[in-house]
Structure 1
Amino acid sequence: MKKLLITTALSASLVAGAVQAQERVRWQVPMAFPSTLAGLADAMPWMADQMRAMTDGAIDLRVAEPGTVVPALAAFDAVSDGSIDAAYSWMGYELGSLPSASLFGATPFGLESIEYLAWLYFHGGRELMTEAYEPFNIHIIPCGTISPETAGWFRSELESVADFEGMRFRAAGIGGEIMMELGKSVTMLPGGELYQALETGVLDATEFSLPSADLQLGFYQVASYLYLPGWHQPSTNQALYVNMDSWNALNPQTQAMFETSCMAANAYAIAKAEAMQGPALIELEEKGAIINTYPDEFIAAFREAHNTVIARRSADDEMFARVYNSMMDFQALNRPWKEQGYLPRDWQTRIGE
């Protein structure tokens, strides 16, 4: 009987300890873009649902729409200064405060989504990301990588690279800086303001997101010419920003659940994004969009401007240079496999199917 009582007491203690370990978390998590934009903004709501399900509601991350808690592009500053516990955004918006963040968000001519995840988790990318954000009091968790963006919606067809001179264009991150190098007048506006800006002529052109998101926003109605490929964002990478004090207050079990759920969100995001883009392009054409592929002369001009911007940024910022060089080292290391291990993207055209 004594042994039974001891065993029962020990079991009860273990159960109580397990219950106690599952702490309760109630955070609002504002997003940089509307949760209704399918393919772009699905990962954070999905991740929050998984956390509620796994903890029977103990961890409740309440996704908030842009502007309801903080302005759409203010996630970085609000989390950094502790105004909010967490937020969800695209890392490219931090170009001014943290130049290397733009590379984590999207690197022109850089890593595609699967390569990016490989670099992130198995070639030192995550360690660099953590190091870059820590001085700003932010624990950063990669939490959603998606397909390439469209290269831009234009109100008139492009004849040559010279057409970019003076063009009023919305862009973000390093891609935007490259476009400025080509003579565009670049501004940064949230997605919700772009339709009206195109319609009223405030903008001549814009890039924003995936074909599926651009379709939802109706850009084809006010700028008929869509250009691909998304050279400026071969992958678009989003993250959960957590205030460092809020993060350190969590127990290790809860921290592990955040990390694991966001890793799962990366798989969810790229799978859903890829599933949607073919149908989105077909629908855009049916609605009258004129879809063009940039000629080689344009790509060459983008690349030349890219080299200029990257060299300038690397000379000015040591962390930027470290991140970019790490990405390029992995891209070169992976190139033989990427070029030889996969069928060429146009293989069906080549063999006449």
Structure 2
Amino acid sequence: MTSSNSRALTAVGAIVLFAAAFATAAPAAEKSVRWKMQSWFPSKAPHAGSTGKDIQTKIKRVSGGKFRIRFFEPGALIPPAECFDAVKNGSVDACWSTPAYWYGKEPAFALFSAAPFGPDWPGLLAWFNYHGGKEIYEKLYRKHNMHAIHCGGMIPEASGWFKKEITSVDDFKGMKIRFLGLGALVLDRLGASTQLLAGGDIFPALELGTIDATEFAAPSVDWNLGFYQIVKNYYFPGWHQPATIYDIMINLDRWNALSDTQKAQLEMVCGDNVRQAIAQGEAMQPAALTRHKGKGVNIRRWSPKILASLESTWRDVARDLSKKDETFKLAYTSLTAWQKRYSTWLNIGYLDR
């Protein structure tokens, strides 16, 4: 063998060894994942549904098509109210919803998306991400064999639509109201009769007189449901829901089966969804209010006296729930402690509006 041949073989051998070493060190190709996600909200509903539908597009894009989550409209796979149990037992991979809907499973869920007189968006995000909220939230879902990711949200909601003007809390007595979660407990204690109806069932209930009043979401969302055609008194602020988390609930086994990269991809998609939801939500409300006014809707603000009565009643409700449920007590104590700390900055760091 000539010296040149020897050098050539040596070079080839080195290349082969390098390639083998690189192949060993390189990560395995990501496996393809296909999930079905049942939504509580229709995709055409601004914020509530549209950001859920965006998950389908965004996760496909960031994963190069390896990770896909198919969005299903309400009822396409299962009735939305069955989402919790379906994800828990694995019959559905994931659901798009908001924690407050699972108040009946655990009262503490409601504090993450419908905490009366709770923090606004900056305060809620700070508590959730840096002051203990996320740990309580994830533990709560894990208890039910799920992993959930904060993946969107709603800016402050309207307080509701009422057929008559409300001049004192006594006016709630005997009133039939569609209301959500913890806020409903407050109104019940003030003499109202509350119930939870899906968005599509509210208009006919108002039309038939089955209910006298309703809350649902922010003006841009309420507009699409047409409440202004029947009810003309639209109250603010939404004391029962200053900020709302939307999330994707995932069966724990499905979540654990993802690679670290796929988990990171979904978390990044959800982070972008939160940014989008806040910005879009704020951007759409002025025009929505103008449209409502153009239909003869009376935009009203609760009097300080009524708000004080609502808050006092809420504190009583929260104390009673804390005595009955340790997890609620843990979450509520954590949230209110943060609000107190946050107020030292909030009261000095921002201009009065």
Indicate the residue corresponding to 2:8 in structure 1: none
- Distance in 1 separating the partners of 2:230 and 2:70: 34
Q: Is the 8 A contact 2:100 2:112 kept in 1?
A: yes
- Distance in 2 separating the partners of 1:343 and 1:46: 34
Q: Which amino acid aligns with 1:45?
A: K
Indicate the residue corresponding to 1:310 in structure 2: 318
- Distance in 2 separating the partners of 1:75 and 1:209: 21
Matches within 5 A, 1:233-252: 233-252=241-260
Residue 169 of structure 1 aligns to a residue in which SS? Answer: strand
Q: Which amino acid aligns with 1:57?
A: G
Q: Is the 8 A contact 2:161 2:234 kept in 1?
A: yes
2:209 is matched with which residue: 195, 201, 205? 201
Residue 234 of structure 2 aligns to a residue in which SS? Answer: strand
Indicate the residue corresponding to 2:291 in structure 1: 283
Q: Is the 8 A contact 1:152 1:228 kept in 2?
A: yes
Distance apart, 1:23 and its partner CA: 2.1
- Distance in 2 separating the partners of 1:51 and 1:91: 22
Q: Is the 8 A contact 1:225 1:292 kept in 2?
A: yes
Indicate the residue corresponding to 2:113 in structure 1: 105
| Divergent runs of 4+, >6 A | none
Q: Is the 8 A contact 2:48 2:246 kept in 1?
A: no
Residue 81 of structure 2 aligns to a residue in which SS? Answer: coil
1:4 equivalent in alignment to 2:15: yes
1:77 equivalent in alignment to 2:89: no
Q: Is the 8 A contact 1:48 1:62 kept in 2?
A: yes
- Distance in 1 separating the partners of 2:313 and 2:91: 38
> Which runs of 5 or more structure 1 residues have no equivalent in the other structure?
346-353
- Distance in 1 separating the partners of 2:25 and 2:218: 48
Matches within 5 A, 1:155-304: 155-304=163-312
Question: What TM-score do you get using the length of structure 1 for normalisation?
Answer: 0.94
> Which runs of 5 or more structure 2 residues have no equivalent in the other structure?
1-11
Residue 103 of structure 1 aligns to a residue in which SS? Answer: helix
2:96 is matched with which residue: 61, 79, 88? 88
Q: Is the 8 A contact 2:165 2:233 kept in 1?
A: yes
Q: Which amino acid aligns with 2:15?
A: L
Indicate the residue corresponding to 2:144 in structure 1: 136
Q: Is the 8 A contact 1:113 1:145 kept in 2?
A: no
Distance apart, 1:12 and its partner CA: 4.7
- Distance in 2 separating the partners of 1:123 and 1:306: 23
Q: Which amino acid aligns with 1:333?
A: R
- Distance in 2 separating the partners of 1:23 and 1:119: 35
- Distance in 2 separating the partners of 1:90 and 1:114: 18
- Distance in 1 separating the partners of 2:221 and 2:153: 15
Structure showing greater Rg: 2
Residue 226 of structure 1 aligns to a residue in which SS? Answer: strand
Q: Is the 8 A contact 1:99 1:320 kept in 2?
A: yes
Distance apart, 1:269 and its partner CA: 1.1
Matches within 5 A, 1:16-27: 17-18=27-28, 20=29, 22-27=30-35
Residue 69 of structure 1 aligns to a residue in which SS? Answer: coil
- Percent identity over the alignment? 37
Indicate the residue corresponding to 1:343 in structure 2: 351
- Distance in 2 separating the partners of 1:282 and 1:11: 62
Distance apart, 1:13 and its partner CA: 5.0
Distance apart, 1:53 and its partner CA: 0.4
Q: Is the 8 A contact 2:47 2:153 kept in 1?
A: no
Which deviates more from structure 2 when the two are superposed, residues 165-174 or residues 328-337?
328-337
Residue 247 of structure 2 aligns to a residue in which SS? Answer: strand
Q: Is the 8 A contact 1:314 1:320 kept in 2?
A: yes
Q: Is the 8 A contact 1:23 1:254 kept in 2?
A: no
Which deviates more from structure 2 when the two are superposed, residues 313-322 or residues 36-45?
36-45
Indicate the residue corresponding to 1:351 in structure 2: none
Equivalences, count? 342
Q: Which amino acid aligns with 2:185?
A: E
Distance apart, 1:14 and its partner CA: 5.2
Matches within 5 A, 1:116-127: 116-127=124-135
- Distance in 1 separating the partners of 2:17 and 2:217: 61
Distance apart, 1:47 and its partner CA: 2.4
Distance apart, 1:293 and its partner CA: 0.2
2:46 is matched with which residue: 32, 38, 43? 38
